Structure 1
Amino acid sequence: MKITVDEVKCCGAGQCVLIAPEVFDQREDDGIVILLDAEPPAEQHDAVRESASVCPAAAIMLDESA
C-alpha cells in the first residue's frame, strides 16, 4: 500500500490522526495533514483505509497495488 495526501484539499478535521496516529499527524499552525509513513506495514492497512474513507475532504489517496 502506498499513501498520498493532498494538502490543498485537507481541511484539518484530524480524523486520520485519531484513527492512524502512526501514519498521520497534523501541522501545529493550521492542522493540515502530515504523512508520517507513505508505505505503512500491513498491520496499519485497515486503519489507513478507514482514515481515507472518513476523510471529509477526500484528501487521502491509497494505491493498493503498491
Structure 2
Amino acid sequence: MTPAVQALNILVTALPSLINMVAHYEEIASRPDTPPEDKEKAKALLESMRWKSFDELEKEAAGE
C-alpha cells in the first residue's frame, strides 16, 4: 500500500470521530445549562481546532 493510500485510509477512519467531537463541544458551548467554566473549556478546544489561514500562522510564528 502506498503512503498516499495509507494517509487516505487514516483520514477516512479518523474524520467521523473528529466531526463527532467538534459537534459535542459545540453543543456543550451552546447549552444554557452548561456551567460557565465548562463553556470556556469547550470554546477554547473549538478555537484550538479551528483551521487558520496561512497569514494567521505566519503572525503566530512571528510572535505578533
- Name the TM tier (shorter chain): under 0.3
TM-score by length of 2: 0.27
TM-score by length of 1: 0.27
Structure richer in strand, relative to its length: 1
Of the two structures, which has the highest relative contact order with CA contacts closer than 8 Å and spacing of 6 or more?
1
